[in-house]
Structures are given as C-alpha cells and as structure tokens.
A and B are shown apart, each in its own frame.
Chain A
Amino acid sequence: MLSFLARRIAAALGTLFLSSVLVFLAVQALPGDVATQVLGKDATPDAVAALRGQLGLDRPAWERYADWIAGATHGDFGTSLVSSRPVGGEVSSYLGNSALIALVTVLFAVTGSVVLGILAGLYRDRWPDHVISTAALVGMSVPEFVVATVLVLCFSVALPWFPAVVLYGPDATVGQLLPAVWLPALALAVVMAAYIVRMTRTSVIDVMAGEFVTTARLKGLSTWRVVTRHALPSALLPTLHVIALNVAWLAGGVAVVENVFNYPGIGKLMLSSVQNRDLPVIQAIALISAVVYVVCNLAADLGAMALNPRLRTRGRTR
C-alpha cells in the first residue's frame, strides 16, 4: 500500500515537472519576449537589449527555467508587466476569490449530483430517473455562459435576490463576495452535475444488478443497508475520477462564468492577462491549473484506495 502511495505521488510530481516545462516552453515559443512586449514595437534594439540584460533574458533558457521554478516553489512568480507588482501576490488574491466559488460549487454540485445519480440509478426507468436524467441532459447540452445569463435573468433581474455583477475588486472580503458567489456557483454546478449524475447512475445500475448485491438482498438485509454498505463503495469507484476531472475543469470553467458576472477571480485575471500579454501572470496561472489537475487526480486515486480494498491490500501475502 505504501509503495502504491509512493509511486502515485512520484507520478504526480513527475507530471507537474513535465507540465511546468511545457508551460515554460510554450511561453518561450511565443513571438517576441517580455522585453519587446514592455517596450513596444518602436523600441530601439539597444533599449530592448538593455532591458533583456536587466531582466536576465539573455541567459540560456534552462537557467531561466531553473530560476523560475525555484522561485515558484516559494510563491515567487516574478513581476507583473502590467501592474509591476509581484505576480505571486496578485494571483493569490484572485485565486482566493475563485476558490470561494469552487468550494461552494464542489460542495453542492458534487454531493448533489452524486445523490441525484444514485436516486436515478435506484429508480431506474421510473419517473425519478426520467426527471433526473432529462434535467442532466439539458444541463450538459447548454453552454455555461447561457446558463449563467439565464440565471441572471431569473434571479437578479426578474427576482432581485442576488447581485447580477460584482462591483468589488480583487481585494474584496469574503463577506462582500459571499452574496455574489451563488449564481456563478449554480451556473457551474448545472454544467458539471450532468456528467457526474450520468456516470453515477450508470455505475449504480451496474452494481445493483451484480451478484453480490443480490446475495446481500437475499441475506434479508434492508434496502438501505444493501445500498449504502454493499453497493455504493463499488458504485462510486468509477465516479471518483469523473468527479476529479470535473473539479479540475472548474479551473478553466470559471473563466467564462466569472466574466459573465464580472467576478474578480482567477478566470478574469487570466483573460485580462492574455489581452495585456502579461506573460509572467499567464505562466503562473497555467502552472497553477496544472497543479489543480494533478492534485484532483491524486485525490481521486486516494479515494479509490479507500473504497477498494484490492488497492489497499496489494502486496499482502495470501
């Protein structure tokens, strides 16, 4: 079990390393570098060269990569070209705001959709299943910005319960942002839930038709016990990775939704940095997205270990 864990973590670190290299190379491959970006098209070659020397851009790429990665592990991602503030601080304040949305979404969307998926699976081909499956299909087919717009129409225009847009900047407090979190979270949840609901449903149906569930029923156990103790651990196993991928998708999914609501999150920062060609910030966000993906998948693997004794007891002798 320990060796499995160690191998999984090593693989995660390896993945992170490769993605950091990729991110770095991708930014290097862009036409022009930071110096030409800062000074603009009309800068003299001398000025560009001077700035390059100042920023250390004349050193070999691997040295700069080593510097960047060494800084990144301490939270130092360099300086933003736009605001001239440290990228680390700027990104983390936006990231915190996004984390608030993500947290609310994950909490409600994941638990909600797993429960709905289980219900649909248990009531297979009866009306609760039809309702849930249809709703999930609709949620899956509509793009998130449409969902977000419809939500704004319903719950801030027609019924003024939630603010339609956020008027605070990145330094807003949790108390200020909290009322604005619900609509973006709901929009993301609707899109995300669909996949999880469908996966859970299929998996529950499979497992409920399995021999060990029949055996448990024929032991005279109550339906509640059969479902919770016998069926669910096996049924949730394939769902875990779908959940992980969806949670990781949030990192990108928030970009669109945050812009609809003008929410000061990482997605908004990413969009404006791309528009302003703020390379250090883009680099940092890309790396953070990679970390989110890797962490989510690692969490899913650990969850799978908790649910599946075959993984835990590997290596133990018979």
Chain B
Amino acid sequence: MASIVSVNSLSVAYRSGGRDVPVVREVSLEVAEGRTLALVGESGSGKSTVAATLLGHLRHGSRITGGSVRVDGRDVFALSARELRRLRGGTVAMVAQNAGHALTPSMRIGKQIEEVGGDVPVVELLEQVRLPRPAELARRYPHELSGGQQQRVAIAMAVAARPKLLVLDEPTTGLDVVTQRSVLDLIAALRDELGLAALLVSHDLGVVAHLADEVTVLRSGRAVESAPTRKLFAAPEDPYTRRLLASVPRLDDAGLALVGEAGEREVRPKAGVAADAPVVLCARDVTIDYGRTRAVHGVSFDVRRGEVLALVGESGSGKSTLAWTLAGLRTPSGGTMTHEAGDLNPPAHRRPLPLRRRVQLVFQNADTSLNPRRSVGEAVRRPLRFFGTATGRTDAAERARQLISDVRLDPALADRLPAQLSGGQRQRIGIARALAGEPDVLIADEITTALDVSVQADVLRLLDDLRRERALACLFISHDLAVVRGVADRVLVLRHGVVVEEGPTEAVFAAPGHPYTRQLMAAALEPDPDAPTFVEDVAEWEDAAAPDDLWTDHGDGHRVRRWSPVNAPIAEGVS
C-alpha cells in the first residue's frame, strides 16, 4: 500500500541559551493510505513536534536539524509558502488538543468552517459530526458550545476540505470519559467513511488501543518501538513500552498495581479498613449552591479512619465543589458536615486552628497551587509554623526535610523553586504540604489527572503507602474509574450533584447497578485492543426515586438510586 506520510530520520532542535536542544532525534515513520498510526509518549517525548511537522509547522525557535518529512510524495519543508498553504488546506488537516482554545473566539462557527474552503456545505459538515440543529449552530460563537461540541466543530473544520490525512493531537484529552468515547467513535467513523489516513498523538494508551492500526512509542525524542497495535499491546518488546503499559490502571485491578523496572506488574491487595475504625468525617444532606444553580444536592456519606472514599463523576457532577466545601473554601447552603473534632460547616478561616489542620486539601494542579517565587521547602515549612506543628525555625526546617523525604523526594530539592521540579515532583510537594498539618482527612482533588501515566502510578503508590502508614482517611476525587478501582475502598458516584450509587468498590465494579455508573464504566478505555466490554450500557432510563423511597439496597452498604428503563423492554432483559 502506498505511504501518504514518510518521515525519514527526522531531527528537530530548538535554540535555548545559545545551544541547540534536541527535541526529536532521528525518528522515522510511515503512514499508509487509510491507516492510522499512533505516536505514543509521555510529556516531553516530542510526539506533538513530530505531528506538527506533517503540516510543515515548527514551534517558534525550533528548526529541522536532519532528515525529511514527505507528505503525499512531497517534501513538506521544501514547499513554497503558497504550496504549503495548499497542503494545509487540502491534503493534511489538524485537530488540535483543546478545541476551546483552538477556535477563534470572535468568529462564528459556520464562518470558521467555511473559510477552510472545500465544496461541502457547512450544515452538511456539522451534521456529519453529529451535531444537533446544525443550521442554528453554525451561527453560534465557540463559547456558546460545550467542550464536546467544540471538539466536534474542530473535527468538522478538519474534514471540511476533504483532506487525505488527519493529524489528531490529543484529540480527546480534557474531555469527560463519556464525551471522549463518543468523540473517538465519531473520529473512527469519519475516518472509515472518508477513507482518511490519520496520525494520532496521545499519551492515553486506551485511546490508542481503540483507534490505531500501528503504534510508534517515543521517549525523549527517540522512537523506542514500532509495531502493529495488537502486537504491541500483546507483546511489547522494549522495557519502556512494557513499563508504560503496566502503569495504566485497569478496571479489573483489585488493588494498586506496582510496576517493576522491566514492566512486571504486581497488584497489591488493598489495606482494608479495621472493622472498629471510627468515623472521622460525616456529611449529611449536604447541599451547595452557586448563585441560583444547585451544584450538590443532598449528599450524605461517612469516611472512617484509614478509609479511601472515591467521589466519581464527570465534570459538572459536583464532586470538586463538594471537596472544596469540605476543605472550607465554600460554605454549604444546607446539611451538616462534621469531623470528630468539630463542625465543618463554617468556612476554613472560621474553623478553630486544631480542626482546620486536620482536614487538608491537595489541589489538582500543583503547578498553579504552589507559589512560583517561593522554594518548595518554604511551601512545606509555612503550614508547619502556621499550625504550630513545628516549634521554632530549625525544627520547622528539619520537619520540612522529613516530610519531603516522606513523599519519596530527595530533601535536597527543598531549595528549588516549583518551576525547577517535574510535574510529579510538584504534586508530591503538594501532598507534603497537606501532610504538614498532620491531618487525619486528606482530600485529593483529581491529583493525578494532569500527570503522565508512569508518574501517576508513582503518586498513587505514594498515596496508598501514606494511608497505610498514617491511617489517613482520604476523599479521593476522580473521573477515572480504573484509578478509583485500584485505590478506593468505597465509591460514591455523583451525577448532576446527586448520588446515584454508592458501595464498596468491589461490589460496585462487580455489579454496577445504576445506568450512569454503567455508562461511565462502558466509556472507560482499556489499554487493550481486544478488551471485552466491561459492562453493557443501558440505552434509555429515567430517575425513579421517590422522596420516601430513594434507594434500591443491594446489601453490604451497596445501594443504587431508583431508576426505570424508558420504553425499552429489551433493556429490562439486559439488566
């Protein structure tokens, strides 16, 4: 089969401080017509840089130091400006990572699609990406669309001129699991329908397994392994690929997977909670409002000492709002939240100091939650002094070093600024800072979402270790069910601020009772092209909870909000 893309020992470098820093080193790859090649790698692997060269694009300050890129038989970097424009408009099109940022805010959707050129009417294109009411939508501005809709518009824009090759740069990163699944299905359908070749850039092995025919694994700018997808996932050859694959949490892991140097995988059974462990945190009918919109609607739960309770749901489900409220950053508009040591309803600044230090929050994004001008040692020392857990300057410094090594970092890093650490190291500092108050409840708000998969595995392990060592109660907020499966003792599934299912992790994963839980599980992508469907989705359903009869009890604390299938007798048979 003819190749539409042929990259030959490509090297790219950018200039920094008068020196060339290599980003891509002698990478070669081929994409055959109608096939999909995935470039997989962690941040800094150079995968996006390689992808952008297919459109003749290099970041400001970067240049080609060797090799060539040929698309449709032509050397991309030898084209004239006019020919390059024709290539970008007609032969290759790109779907960028974040459609919210990639669409021009001041221009109507229809106009943006139209200016690509091509003969397909805008309305037809919008229909093709399964957007409702296309004629009306074409007159909207990007900010009036949801994230999933924006990504569909970006895809419509990419296929508008009927290109031969699509470059997909992390096309679903940042979308919710359910949205991600539907966007991926759309991409696959369009690709087959229009006979497109595609280069998919992703850090998510689940996405890759779902979409790609072949895979090239990049690490620090070098291709370490290339293989057909099935072969790569079944028998990865390179140790790095094996480690990468092993680091991905699976929906059927009964505990946290510990990954060895050569990629061997050992699932550590969960620590379990002592039968007599006291309840440290208790929420009853908590309701939280943002102005007139209700974000959290009558949520109740208990967390016992040493227990990890996972709050699961998509964005907008209210899980982070709940976390922030428990941490005292917002006040609830109804219900009660209590800790062993006192009332958690008042905001943090009105809670007595001894209570305040016992409930600590770790932020999702350590990059932005650490002061960029303070050393990370100071970031940890500050709460030590503030909460009075350290007496005097030398004691605080000593304790800070201890905490930094407790989170498995070299205490010598204490003098560095946050920008001088990697993402994983910063997140560990975030955890160390939360631990400085010697809390008994740790609230972890999507703490691994922004991390690479191998780093995520390390941070999850740290969290699991800490909880074993310190009998911490932990409220673990995540949208990733596979992660939750490995770390949580109990699960609480939130949808639109309402709990739809709760129970012990094993019970919920063995027999998800609510259609929304099933939908989330069905949408989760396993890093295995032949993974069997985890659960069957329920097509149509409606809430059937009556005020005095909310739950269907499945025993052992596993309960499901009442629901009923909608005019679908088949669904009843399935469930």
State which of A219, A234, A310 has its C-beta within 8 Å of the C-beta of B115.
A219
Minimum CB–CB distance from A48 to chain B (whole Å) comes to: 60
Contact, CB under 8 Å: B116 / A316: no
In angstroms, Cα B35 to Cα A88, docked, is 79
0/1 string, A201-239, CB within 8 A of B gives 1: 000000001111111111111100100011001100000
A308 at the interface (CB under 8 A from B): yes
Contact, CB under 8 Å: A216 / B106: no
Q: Which residues of A contact B93 (CB under 8 A)?
A: 218-219
Minimum CB–CB distance from B282 to chain A (whole Å) comes to: 37
Contact, CB under 8 Å: B101 / A211: yes
A307 at the interface (CB under 8 A from B): yes
B86 at the interface (CB under 8 A from A): yes
Q: Contacts A209-B60, A221-B115, A308-B105 known; A215 to B94 CB distance under 8 Å?
A: yes
In angstroms, Cα B102 to Cα A217, docked, is 11
Task: Say which one of B4-12, B15-23, B140-148, B522-530 lies at the interface with A.
Answer: B140-148
Contact, CB under 8 Å: B107 / A220: no
Q: Which residues of B contact A230 (CB under 8 A)?
A: 104, 106-107
Contact, CB under 8 Å: B104 / A212: yes
Q: Which residues of B contact A28 (CB under 8 A)?
A: none
Q: Which residues of B contact A45 (CB under 8 A)?
A: none
Contact, CB under 8 Å: A229 / B107: yes
Q: Which residues of A contact B265 (CB under 8 A)?
A: none
In A297-316, the 8 Å CB interface with B consists of 307-310, 313, 316
Q: Which residues of A contact B143 (CB under 8 A)?
A: 309-310, 313
B486 at the interface (CB under 8 A from A): no
Q: Which residues of B contact A310 (CB under 8 A)?
A: 105, 141, 143
In B88-119, the 8 Å CB interface with A consists of 88-90, 93-94, 96, 98, 101-107, 115-117
Contact, CB under 8 Å: B101 / A210: yes
In angstroms, Cα B93 to Cα A318, docked, is 29
State which of A212, A217, A307 has its C-beta within 8 Å of the C-beta of B103.
A212
Q: Which residues of A contact B104 (CB under 8 A)?
A: 212-213, 215-216, 229-230, 233-234
In angstroms, Cα B355 to Cα A95, docked, is 66
In angstroms, Cα B85 to Cα A307, docked, is 27
Q: Which residues of A contact B60 (CB under 8 A)?
A: 209
Contact, CB under 8 Å: A217 / B101: no
Sample 26 A-B pairs with CB under 8 A, ordered by A number: A209-B60, A211-B98, A212-B103, A212-B105, A215-B94, A215-B103, A215-B104, A215-B154, A218-B55, A218-B57, A219-B93, A219-B116, A219-B157, A220-B117, A221-B85, A229-B115, A233-B107, A234-B104, A234-B105, A307-B106, A309-B105, A309-B143, A310-B141, A313-B141, A318-B144, A318-B145
Residues on B close to A: CB < 8 A? 55, 57, 60, 84-90, 93-94, 96, 98, 101-107, 115-117, 141, 143-146, 154, 157, 161
- Contacts A213-B104, A309-B141, A318-B146 aside, 19 further interface pairs with beta carbons under 8 A come to A210-B101, A211-B98, A211-B102, A215-B94, A215-B102, A216-B104, A218-B88, A219-B115, A219-B116, A220-B88, A220-B117, A220-B161, A229-B104, A233-B107, A309-B105, A310-B105, A310-B141, A313-B144, A318-B144
Residues on A close to B: CB < 8 A? 209-222, 225, 229-230, 233-234, 307-310, 313, 316, 318
